[in-house]
Amino acid sequence: MELYPKTVADIFGSLVFDDNSMRERLPKHIYSSLQKTRRLGLPLEPEVADVVANAMKDWALEKGATHYTHWFQPMTNVTAEKHDAFISQVEEGKVVMEFSGKELIKGEPDASSFPAGGMRSTFEARGYTAWDPTSFAFIKDNTLCIPTAFCSYGGQTLDKKTPLLRSMEAVNIQALRILRLFGNTTATRVNTTIGPEQEYFLIDRELYNKRKDLRFTGRTLFGASTPKNQETAAHYFGAIRPRVAKFMRDLDEELWKLGITAKTEHNETAPAQHELAPIFTNANVATDHNQLTMEYLRKVAERHGLTCLLHEKPFANINGSGKHNNWSLATDDGQNLLEPGDSPAENAQFLLFLCAIIKAVDDYSGLLRTSVATAGNDHRLGGHEAPPAIISVFLGDELTEVLQSIETGSACNAKKGDCLEIGVSSLPKLPKDTTDRNRTSPFAFTGNKFEFRMTGSSASIAGVNFVMNAIIAETLCQFADELEKASDFRQSLQQLIKETVIRHKRILFNGNNYSEEWREEAKGRGLPNYPSAVDALPHFVDQENIDVFVKHKIFTEEELRFRLDILLDIYSRTISVESLTMLDMARQEILPAALAFSKTISEGLQSKQSTGLALDLSYDNDLLINICRETGLLYSALERLEEAHHKAAAIQEPLLQAKAWRELVIPAMDEVRAPADRLETMVGKEYWPFPTYADLLFSV
């Protein structure tokens, strides 16, 4: 007998203590109180916790769970959990299954080894997890997982959920102020909604296990290009191969059980690359779901003899993997605030929110860039369909024309009517496909949402979204401050929208973001360009960025500065591991393979010469000379890489050390890779010590 029925409707959410489960199992007054906390953000009443905990425990036991854990998201891009059994001893040899409200609300994992950026000493182990009732508990591997926030003994945030929740509240407060000005009295909450598209690679697990670079770093540090990569785009939206299709079916079922609305799946452009996209949900739940999605991508892949690679650039010279962050705002009374609407009031409201986003992205483009600044993303940004490091906003022709008409005061020539006075005449109805897509744009309006395409595939989406929420909350706050004191709301609204368009139009760009002309034009417009993570990350603590986080109670200044040190340390550790892995592979695998092959050629050459025949040995000689030359270049480059590694590792100050890894070690790594990749094209296949790109990309 199967544990789960086969229909999607029955499978979906079967391992989630969701609203239906709570309604069935909780007394009405307890359920009502919990809903006020979940939907309105009201404090949790103390007596509610024990009742919820007992109901949650009974439900979990019925599903086969034996343990529970506070499931949290430290500054590592992966989740953490400490499992405790439900058992409680009542007398010797006997136990009962218990779970209290205190255990539900608060946990105490050892926090000493989690990234803290110097915020606390490593010998200070105490840390706390606190239940997040706005995200449903779920069962994973026979364990009840309770989504929680994570903080230090002193109350400082050590996770990504806490600032995200705070930023969502900041947007809610400021967006409601705007809605009240437009006469909306029914909405009681405005939620940030996210639909994160997840790109990934699938390769054969046996081949993966034969490469130290993939096992230790998640990407290939060596690899010559194959004769065919993605030039014909034959893989893109192609028929899904049977082995991958089985994996996708299995993955869908696992995600559906957890209430994750996995909807779209297809082959991406690069060989062995794929994409999964869910339906929109609020930012907190979407973040939890995306963390689970990444975990199950890896877990389900193993069942099928595969490995899922989530690194931003696992293979050179083909598309990397991103996580397109589709962001919007929605009210609890069912209105998408980025939907232009049909009525004059809706149009004016849409334009104000649109202008708030444009202004926020322009004012804080540097901060937005820091939210995606990682060592892995440095390899991806700027080519192969990934946006460049320069932030700009794509609106499409029709919306651009609307804003231009507002700026000049002239009628626009949109197809479905003229845009006259804001709030009096309607905008043209803007369907979702009002314009073509721009794959090179970092921040693109796509109908009723903005798609931020710069997020790396392995990253938690919490970071980019608490930044977006913070900067947009600040702009909405500025708008509300101005409009609330206006004597003539409509006139002030018109003037505010017009002034915003004029002052911030420099961030708007609909063209080719890859072109050299755009880089020059962006420089002339005064837009920042931070090519690498090391260039971008220090701007996380620019004073204007500190001010916006502190004002909206998302971080303290102390937390921000510690968090910067964490990000710099993660960057440095990433490059350190990569360079050590490169040294190890080159010395233990590539050099011995090249020497063994050159010995074979040399012995063959001597054998041919000993025949006394008039043979043409120019090929043998040239090949031997070339291999010896490249081997010598590789050996010398390895010496320089090791020296650069030692220099960078000896630096203590976080930013200076990160710069050393970027400026000394990465170029040295490039020098090592070049002759190694040339050797791969010369050394016989049976001598080469690990699978090649051709093996990895075309074997599944």
Alpha helices in 182-266 (DSSP H): 205-209, 212-217, 242-257
How far apart CA 86 and CA 100 sit, in angstroms, is 10
| Whether residue 638 has pLDDT greater than 80 | yes
The number of beta carbons lying within 10 Å of the beta carbon of residue 679 is 25
How far apart CA 16 and CA 27 sit, in angstroms, is 19
Q: Mean pLDDT, to the nearest integer, of 348-362?
A: 96
Residue pair 272/695 in contact by the 8 Å Cβ criterion: no
Residue pair 351/497 in contact by the 8 Å Cβ criterion: yes
| Whether residue 321 has pLDDT greater than 80 | yes
Residue 349: burial class (beta carbons within 10 Å; 0-12, 13-18, 19+): buried
More confident call, 228 vs 71: 71
Residue pair 476/352 in contact by the 8 Å Cβ criterion: no
Q: Model confidence over 453-467: pLDDT tens digits?
A: 999 999 999 999 999
pLDDT band at 420 (very low <50, low <70, confident <90, very high): very low
Query: Element (H or E) spanning 274, and its range?
Result: strand 273-278
pLDDT, position 630: 97
Please give the full DSSP string across 354-422, using - where no structure is assigned.
Answer: HHHHHHHHHHTHHHHHHTT--HHHHHHTTSTT---SS--EE--HHHHHHHHHHHHTPPP--TT----ST
pLDDT, position 304: 97
How far apart CA 472 and CA 360 sit, in angstroms, is 5
First to last CA, the chain: 32
More confident call, 559 vs 426: 559
Residue pair 90/123 in contact by the 8 Å Cβ criterion: no
| Whether residue 93 has pLDDT greater than 60 | no
284 SS3 class: helix
pLDDT, position 87: 78
The number of beta carbons lying within 10 Å of the beta carbon of residue 443 is 25
Q: Which of 88-102, 172-186, 482-496, 610-624 has the lowest mean pLDDT?
A: 88-102
pLDDT band at 612 (very low <50, low <70, confident <90, very high): confident
For residue 250, give the amino acid letter: D
260 SS3 class: coil
Q: Give, in degrees to the nearest 5, the angle at Cα 375 between 373 and 381.
A: 65
| Predicted model pTM | 0.92
Strand 106-107 vs strand 137-140: parallel, antiparallel, or unpaired? unpaired
pLDDT band at 232 (very low <50, low <70, confident <90, very high): low
Taken in order of first residue, the domains within the chain and their CATH numbers are 8-159 (3.10.20.70), 167-555 (3.30.590.10), 570-697 (1.20.120.1560)
Tell me the β-bridge partners of 83: 69
Q: Mean pLDDT, to the nearest integer, of 481-509?
A: 95
Query: Element (H or E) spanning 326, and its range?
Result: strand 323-331
Taking the CA atoms of the chain, what radius of gyration do you get in angstroms? 28
| Whether residue 437 has pLDDT greater than 70 | no
The length of the chain, given as a count of residues: 700
Query: Element (H or E) spanning 40, and its range?
Result: helix 28-40
How far apart CA 461 and CA 467 sit, in angstroms, is 10
Residue pair 599/111 in contact by the 8 Å Cβ criterion: no
Q: Which of 169-173, 251-255, 389-393, 444-448 has the lowest mean pLDDT?
A: 444-448
Q: Model confidence over 326-353: pLDDT tens digits?
A: 999 999 988 999 998 777 667 899 999 9
Q: Mean pLDDT, to the nearest integer, of 15-29?
A: 94
| Whether residue 9 has pLDDT greater than 70 | yes
Average pLDDT, the chain: 90
Question: With left for phi above 0 and alpha for psi between -120 and 50, is residue 77 left, alpha or beta?
Answer: left
DSSP 311: -
pLDDT, position 114: 60
pLDDT, position 102: 87
Q: Mean pLDDT, to the nearest integer, of 32-43?
A: 81
Q: Mean pLDDT, to the nearest integer, of 402-416?
A: 73
Contacts of residue 169, Cβ cutoff 8 Å, sequence gap at least 6: 41
The number of beta carbons lying within 10 Å of the beta carbon of residue 270 is 24
Strand 67-71 vs strand 143-152: parallel, antiparallel, or unpaired? parallel
pLDDT, position 419: 44
For residue 673, give the amino acid letter: R
Residue pair 284/164 in contact by the 8 Å Cβ criterion: yes
pLDDT band at 635 (very low <50, low <70, confident <90, very high): very high
| Whether residue 421 has pLDDT greater than 60 | no
pLDDT band at 259 (very low <50, low <70, confident <90, very high): very high
pLDDT, position 103: 87
Q: Which of 146-160, 316-330, 475-489, 646-660 has the lowest mean pLDDT?
A: 146-160
Q: Model confidence over 100-129: pLDDT tens digits?
A: 888 888 876 665 566 555 555 555 556 788
Residue pair 340/427 in contact by the 8 Å Cβ criterion: yes
Percentage of residues of the chain with pLDDT beyond 70: 90
Q: Which of 165-174, 260-269, 586-595 has the lowest mean pLDDT?
A: 260-269
Identify the CA nearest to 106 among candidates 50, 58, 61, 156.
50
For residue 272, give the amino acid letter: A
Identify the CA nearest to 36 among candidates 216, 158, 188, 192.
188
pLDDT, position 415: 46
pLDDT, position 167: 97
| Whether residue 245 has pLDDT greater than 80 | yes
pLDDT band at 156 (very low <50, low <70, confident <90, very high): confident
Q: Mean pLDDT, to the nearest integer, of 412-441?
A: 59
Alpha helices in 112-160 (DSSP H): none
Residue pair 344/355 in contact by the 8 Å Cβ criterion: no
- φ, ψ for residue 475 (rounded to 5)? -65, -40
pLDDT, position 306: 98
- φ, ψ for residue 367 (rounded to 5)? -65, -40
pLDDT, position 432: 62
Tell me the β-bridge partners of 107: 129
Q: Give, in degrees to the nearest 5, the angle at Cα 282 between 166 and 329.
A: 85
The number of beta carbons lying within 10 Å of the beta carbon of residue 19 is 14
pLDDT, position 94: 56
How far apart CA 268 and CA 288 sit, in angstroms, is 24
Strand extents, DSSP E, 519-649 = none
Q: Mean pLDDT, to the nearest integer, of 370-399?
A: 90
Residue 580, both tokens = 């050590």
